[in-house]
Amino acid sequence: MASLKKLMEGKGYNRVKLKYTETNHFELVARINKIEGNFILDTGASSSCVGFEAVEHFNLLAEDSEIRAAGAGATNMLTRIAQQNTIEIKGWKKKKIDLVLFDLTHVNEALVNHKAEKVHGIIGADILRGGKAVIDYKNKALYLK
């Protein structure tokens, strides 16, 4: 029986190594607008997000938004939006990505309290769906096509 790695790579998928954290999250490195950052992989997040504090880091053009965010114990959070961005994850690339911007302070405080690294944002279901993602939990890998 062929391994999942061989099967997925044979179907044109890119393999991305994932890091498992003390908070039971997978983390990965991604580039937004050609600038590298650290992200949590969150299959429950409907949209990919970047923290307000990383807007300048990624050269994002933030616009006002009526959308309110909720998650990780916080609700009704103010958001902004950054439209028409490029994201690259280990050879996989997608253009014209809209990112939700919101305060990730509570997320990063929780990570630091568990001796994990801070993140610039969250990779959500929008990107996972767009990349036809397959997550290999056993081997800590993400496949994107």
> What share of the chain in percent tops pLDDT 90?
74
Residue 32 lies in a domain: yes
- From the number of C-beta atoms within 10 Å of its C-beta (0-12, 13-18, 19+), residue 73 rates as exposed
State the amino acid at position 138 in one-letter form: K
Query: DSSP characters for the chain?
Result: ---HHHHHHHTTPEEEE-EE-TTS-EEEEEEETTEEEEEEE-TT-SS-EEEGGGTTTTT--EEEEEEEEEETTEEEEEEEEEEEEEEEETTEEEEEEEEEEE--HHHHHHHHHTT----SEEE-HHHHHHTT-EEETTTTEEEE-
Q: Each residue of 129-142: pLDDT tens digit?
A: 999 999 999 999 99
Binned at pLDDT 50, 70 and 90, residue 85 comes out as very high
Residue 107 lies in a domain: yes
Residue 77 lies in a domain: yes
State the amino acid at position 34 in one-letter form: K
Binned at pLDDT 50, 70 and 90, residue 106 comes out as confident
The pLDDT of 14-32, averaged and rounded, is: 94
Residue 3 lies in a domain: no
Q: Domains in the chain: how many in total?
A: 1
- Residues spanned by the domain of 92: 12-144
Residue 6 lies in a domain: no
Residue 5 lies in a domain: no
In this model, does residue 115 exceed pLDDT 90? no
The pLDDT of 101-109, averaged and rounded, is: 90
In this model, does residue 74 exceed pLDDT 70? no
Binned at pLDDT 50, 70 and 90, residue 22 comes out as confident
CATH of residue 130's domain is 2.40.70.10
Say what the pLDDT of residue 133 is: 98
Residue 104 lies in a domain: yes
Say what the pLDDT of residue 77 is: 67
Residue with tokens 């096509």: 145
Distance CA 58, CA 30 (A): 11
pTM for the model? 0.88
Q: Which residue has the higher pLDDT, 73 or 118?
A: 118
Residue 7 lies in a domain: no
Distance CA 70, CA 28 (A): 22
Say what the pLDDT of residue 97 is: 94
Nearest to 98 by CA among 135, 138, 139, 62: 62
